[in-house]
Amino acid sequence: MTVSPARPVPALGTGPQDLSVWPASASAGTDGDVTVAGVSLREAASRFGTPVYLLDEDEVRARCRAYAAAFPGADVVYAAKALLCRAVARWVREEGLGLDVCSAGELELAVTGGFPAERIVLHGNAKTPEDLRTAVRLGVGRIVIDSVTEIARLATLVAPGDRQQVLLRVVPGVAAGAHPAVRTGTDDQKFGLSIGDGSAEHAVEKVLGQPRLELVGLHCHIGSQIADVEPYLVAVRRMVALLATIRDRHGIALPQLDLGGGHAVPYRAGEPALDLTALAGAVRTELAGACADSDLPVPRLTVEPGRAVVGPAGVVLYHVLAVKDMGGRTLVAVDGGMSDNPRPALYGVRYAPLLVGRPSPAPLRPVTVVGRHCEAGDVITADALLPADVRPGDLLAVPVAGAYHLSMASTYNMIGRPPLVGLHRGTARVLVRRESLADMEMRDIGE
């Protein structure tokens, strides 16, 4: 890794007791321990081992409810790629949300776990024949078409006499999102059909020419970790303009508009979150105004939050294995890393690890928390503030680990993916077990 000379303490630094980005249930004790949902992190680490992902069920449910309350009359669809297991699918289902999936795998897991297929939306810029077949077989509610070739391919899978509801994924030409890898609203990335070059309109014609497909609306997802309302309002105006063009050309007013997800959450104290209530109010007003201007009925809205539902509900625990001073920096190495959290390497995200499990009178100092993988880029956070006496055997907790952690985990270095443990009112139970060497050996059948 590139070890930079000691930098000034970042302005976003947090004190050891700052739990502002943690689940609402988190509470710090005087003994240095922290509880989440009434469960001691020290006890969780000794019972389940580390690394371990913890997930606060009530926090997930509260976030689902906040969306339902902010967007009355809209479909709130949880983006399963952020984190999917049977328990999370059940919580989301019980809270009345839909589910957005990107593969036959996510779809099968949800449906076999009891998620109603009609509340599921299938996405994907390059859906495989297996994805499409599974979606049609299980009766998925809506499929979001992402390319012209997909139209005929899907139509041939639908039984004569049936109609599959579809939306078209459109690129509204809005650049938003915290990193180039998550900006999906412009013409220079792989998702969707461009409004600018006419391919969106061409696709509309193609879908309308397929009697087994029912075009119910347009979809866009402009990016991820978006903290401002404005990009969504620009997207609304462009999408309504396209709805008006479709009405003028084909005489139909499409009844649905799906605005995707991408709502930002803070990973460190002081970072911005997207204000849900402000977003919902502004989108409603913008949509009503734009539709009135074009003399269109207001379409039913869908939003697809992933990160904002599960991200802040998760915490990952690590043990410190080694501490060393190199190049003027202190490196704190833990027993996980890029295999359980590739996000720092992918998007340069920074986290705020906290020493938990023992009190420390030592002053805070900036350190680099690194993983145990054989890559110099295996850095969890380059400018963490930890007590100066941090040492091997200490427990570190990293908050906001609920989204895009387990779902992006790999078997790199055959460490095995950590378990996911659900926390609920003082109890902890394993939702997804730790991946063992036996699991990995079982797949290795050659010689």
Nearer to ligand PLP, 343 or 424 (CB): 343
Q: In what order do the strands lie in the sheet with 34-36?
A: 27-28, 34-36, 39-40
> Would the annotation count 7 as a binding residue?
no
Contacts of 149 (CB under 8 A, 6+ apart): none
> Would the annotation count 262 as a binding residue?
yes
By CB under 6 A, is residue 305 in contact with ligand PLP? yes
By CB under 6 A, is residue 329 in contact with ligand PLP? no
Nearer to ligand PLP, 261 or 387 (CB): 261
**Alpha-carbon Rg for the chain in angstroms:** 23
Nearer to ligand PLP, 88 or 332 (CB): 88
Nearer to ligand PLP, 42 or 81 (CB): 81
* Token pair 């649905």 in the structure block, residue: 256
Is residue 231 within 8 Å of 185, Cβ to Cβ? yes
Nearer to ligand PLP, 78 or 318 (CB): 78
Rounded to the nearest whole angstrom, what is the least distance from the CB of residue 302 to ligand PLP in the complex?
10
By CB under 6 A, is residue 336 in contact with ligand PLP? no
Nearer to ligand PLP, 18 or 228 (CB): 228
By CB under 6 A, is residue 302 in contact with ligand PLP? no
**Beta-carbon count within 10 A of 128 CB:** 11
Which of residues 42, 63, 81, 93 is near ligand PLP by CB under 6 A?
81
> Would the annotation count 247 as a binding residue?
no
The angle formed by the CA atoms of residues 345, 343 and 386, to the nearest 5 degrees, is 85
By CB under 6 A, is residue 405 in contact with ligand PLP? no
Cα–Cα distance measured from residue 216 to residue 218, given in angstroms and rounded to the nearest whole number:
7
| Footprint on residues 118-137 left by ligand PLP (CB under 6 A) | 123
Is residue 41 within 8 Å of 54, Cβ to Cβ? yes
Among 37-45, 61-69, 259-267, 292-300, the segment contacting ligand PLP (CB under 6 A): 259-267
> Would the annotation count 375 as a binding residue?
yes
Structural tokens at position 152: 């005929």
Distances (CA, A) of 241 to 167, 237, 358: 16, 6, 58
Is residue 158 within 8 Å of 140, Cβ to Cβ? no
Among 26-34, 75-83, 276-284, 374-382, the segment contacting ligand PLP (CB under 6 A): 75-83
Parallel, antiparallel or unpaired: strands 314-326 and 329-334? antiparallel
By CB under 6 A, is residue 261 in contact with ligand PLP? yes
By CB under 6 A, is residue 306 in contact with ligand PLP? yes
Tell me, yes or no, if 374 is annotated catalytic: yes
CA 389 to chain centre: 34
Among 24-32, 205-213, 300-308, 323-331, the segment contacting ligand PLP (CB under 6 A): 300-308
Cα–Cα distance measured from residue 262 to residue 183, given in angstroms and rounded to the nearest whole number:
9
By CB under 6 A, is residue 265 in contact with ligand PLP? no
Q: Rounded to the nearest 10 degrees, what angle do helices 230-250 and 199-208 cross at?
A: 50
Chain residue at closest Cβ approach to ligand PLP? 306
Among 50-58, 238-246, 273-281, 302-310, the segment contacting ligand PLP (CB under 6 A): 302-310
Residue of 83, 27, 44, 42 lying closest to 341 (CA atoms): 83
Contacts of 37 (CB under 8 A, 6+ apart): 23, 25, 56, 57, 58, 59, 423, 424, 425, 426
Backbone conformation region of residue 117, classed left if phi is above 0, alpha if psi is from -120 to 50, else beta = alpha
Is residue 219 within 8 Å of 172, Cβ to Cβ? no
> Would the annotation count 404 as a binding residue?
yes
By CB under 6 A, is residue 263 in contact with ligand PLP? yes
> Would the annotation count 441 as a binding residue?
no
The footprint of ligand PLP on this chain (CB under 6 A) covers a number of residues equal to 17
By CB under 6 A, is residue 178 in contact with ligand PLP? no
By CB under 6 A, is residue 343 in contact with ligand PLP? no
Cα–Cα distance measured from residue 251 to residue 247, given in angstroms and rounded to the nearest whole number:
5
Query: 64, 85, 220, 374: which is the annotated catalytic residue?
Result: 374
Cα–Cα distance measured from residue 3 to residue 1, given in angstroms and rounded to the nearest whole number:
6
Among 76-84, 335-343, 344-352, 393-401, the segment contacting ligand PLP (CB under 6 A): 76-84
Q: Which residues are catalytic?
A: 374
Contact residues for ligand PLP (CB under 6 A)? 79, 81-82, 100, 123, 221, 224, 260-263, 304-308, 403
- Sequence ranges of the binding site: 262, 304-307, 343, 347, 375, 404
- Sequence ranges of the binding site for substrate: 307, 343, 347, 375, 404
- Sequence ranges of the binding site for pyridoxal 5'-phosphate: 262, 304-307, 404
